Structure 1
Amino acid sequence: MSIDFTVPEDGIALITINRPEKRNAFDAEHYSALSAAWERVRDDNSIRAAVITGAGDKSFSAGADLKSFITRKSELDEFWQTQKGMLLNRGLEIWKPIIAAVNGYCLAGGMTLLLATDIRIAAKHATFSLAEVKRGIIAGNGGTQRIMAQLPHAIAMEMLLTGNSIDATTAERWGLVNKVVEPEQLLDTAMDYARQIAKNAPLAVQAAKELALRGPELGLAGGLRFEQMVNKILLASNDAREGTSAFKEKRDPAFSGT
């Protein structure tokens, strides 16, 4: 039982939710380990992209292990410790791209985790749902917020209010996932996306992600101005000079992230 963190290739981290006997559900210990993994992705300059998946072939993640949380005593002051054990879907800012390789059930907290990733690959047998209303609670950690921005209104409301699941083909049709593949192709496909990203200038990639995600908060005029400011900063970077030189010399660039 663990959150496995490996670096199978230069610039690419692989995070595996390794609790297959519980459908890769999270108890408090696993949430803490996942938080530490996300912080490592954020802070390690050698990492340019990350892939997250679940162990086994049945489940990406079934979300929170409700039995463990029902019996866990929580002090009232924890409610205001908003930066403790931060997670990607809870608001931790990671501007490096995150790719999800969904290898089965993607439910509840697993689904809210998915909604906080950038690129999503699903195995053909994957299923998706926000079934919290069937348990007397709501889809937290951004579940009620991100889905409205990522799916058509009626589809998002159907998932939130009925708690019913959709299959991988339907998820692809509505743009919830980028691609549906055979199970044996899942991780290779996700890693291929990560390789393509890792080849690009890391500062520019992170800037592009931040601009895209902050755009709705800024409005068009603010977003356009933010673009101008960031591009002016990037033009002074070593990566911008390397990109120009490599283009002129017809070679692959060697970006340093500086």
Structure 2
Amino acid sequence: MTDVLQSESRDGVLLLTLNRPEARNAVNSALREALAAAMHEFATDDAHRVAIVTGAGDRAFCAGADLKEMARRSTGRPPMDYFAEFGPDDFIEKPVITAVNGAAFAGGFRLAQFGDLCLASETASFAISEAKWSRGAPWAAPLTRMLPRRVLAELLLTAQPISARRAYEVGLVNEVVSAADLLPRAWEVARTIADNAPLSVKAFKWLMRVGAEAGVGATSAIATEIFRPVYDSEDAREGPRAFREGRRPKWQGR
């Protein structure tokens, strides 16, 4: 990988670590390009079924975009790919876990939000701080469905951080664990997902996406087509066969 982004691969799980701890893992051009390239590779690489994204050090997961770099370049409205766009509408078909080990502010909040699951250390905090610096956050649109209106208003209008525990209480975080347990727990959850049938996992990601954008009736109708490749696959026969034979399934992804 690169100096600003470290990677580790284990049993079908890819760990990506933002590695600019001296800058609170703020995303500059080099990190943005490296992270976008790594996520695009993950999305198309059959060797990895789940990705974990975390930050180096114990102060920050990610402080967002590097404002010092933006000031030097007089960046006004950032281009569409400024903050490591991972795909159309930031959607990829494989699960991503964000392991938030400290402050997740502004674009760092956006990155934490990108995870299908979000685990946080007890010292983590979350803020949409753009209003403090006259910046925008169009990426916050999905939060209009994820959070109650007044919780969202608190985050957007005050630009003040909330604790990991409060983030858990309002549904932004799946689990809060000690700093020492954060990565081990992330690996454990990732392995649990990676052991599941990849076609089913992919279809469930599409189901969640469609469900967030359509009504229940439309989602139910579309779900039949979403799961058709799952039912027609070799894996659909392997699952019951493995259950009958008392062994772990050997997924082919087809």
**TM-score grouping bracket, smaller chain normalisation:** over 0.9
Supply the distance in 2 between the matched residues of 1:162 and 1:121 (Cα, whole angstroms). 24
Provide the aligned length of Structure 1 versus Structure 2. Answer: 252
1:187 to 183, 189, 192: 183
Distance 1:70 1:147, change over 3 A: same
Match of 1:129?
127
Amino acid at match of 2:18: I
Q: 2:128·2:156 contact (CA, 8 Å) conserved in 1?
A: yes
Match of 2:73?
72
Match of 2:102?
104
Q: 1:34·1:87 contact (CA, 8 Å) conserved in 2?
A: no
Q: Are 2:172 and 1:176 aligned?
A: yes
Q: 1:24·1:54 contact (CA, 8 Å) conserved in 2?
A: yes
Supply the distance in 1 between the matched residues of 2:159 and 2:116 (Cα, whole angstroms). 23
Distance 1:13 1:169, change over 3 A: same
Match of 2:8?
6
Q: CA deviation at 1:103?
A: 0.5
Q: CA deviation at 1:216?
A: 2.9
Amino acid at match of 1:3: L
Counterparts of 1:1-258 in structure 2 under 5 Å? 1-7=3-9, 9-72=10-73, 79=79, 82=80, 87-88=85-86, 91-140=89-138, 142-143=139-140, 145-258=141-254
Superposed CA deviations along residues 13-35 of structure 1, whole A, max 9, x for unmatched, are 00100000000001112111110
Distance 1:75 1:116, change over 3 A: closer
Q: What secondary structure sits across from 2:214 in the alignment?
A: helix
Q: CA deviation at 1:46?
A: 1.4
Supply the distance in 2 between the matched residues of 1:128 and 1:90 (Cα, whole angstroms). 25
TM-score (norm 2): 0.93
Per mean C-alpha deviation after superposition, the further-off stretch among 49-58 and 83-92 is 83-92
Superposed CA deviations along residues 124-143 of structure 1, whole A, max 9, x for unmatched, are 11111011101111224x12
Q: CA deviation at 1:86?
A: 5.0
Supply the distance in 2 between the matched residues of 1:50 and 1:167 (Cα, whole angstroms). 24
Q: What secondary structure sits across from 1:91 in the alignment?
A: helix
TM-score (norm 1): 0.92
Q: What secondary structure sits across from 2:191 in the alignment?
A: helix
Q: CA deviation at 1:218?
A: 2.9
Distance 1:63 1:84, change over 3 A: closer
Which runs of no fewer than 5 residues in structure 2 stay unpaired?
none
Superposed CA deviations along residues 210-241 of structure 1, whole A, max 9, x for unmatched, are 11112232322221122111222211111111
Q: CA deviation at 1:199?
A: 0.3
Distance 1:90 1:111, change over 3 A: farther
Supply the distance in 2 between the matched residues of 1:224 and 1:47 (Cα, whole angstroms). 29
Distance 1:150 1:39, change over 3 A: same
Superposed CA deviations along residues 52-93 of structure 1, whole A, max 9, x for unmatched, are 0000111100000011012226699x95xx578852398232
- What RMSD in Å do the two structures reach over aligned CA positions? 2.0
Q: What secondary structure sits across from 1:95 in the alignment?
A: coil
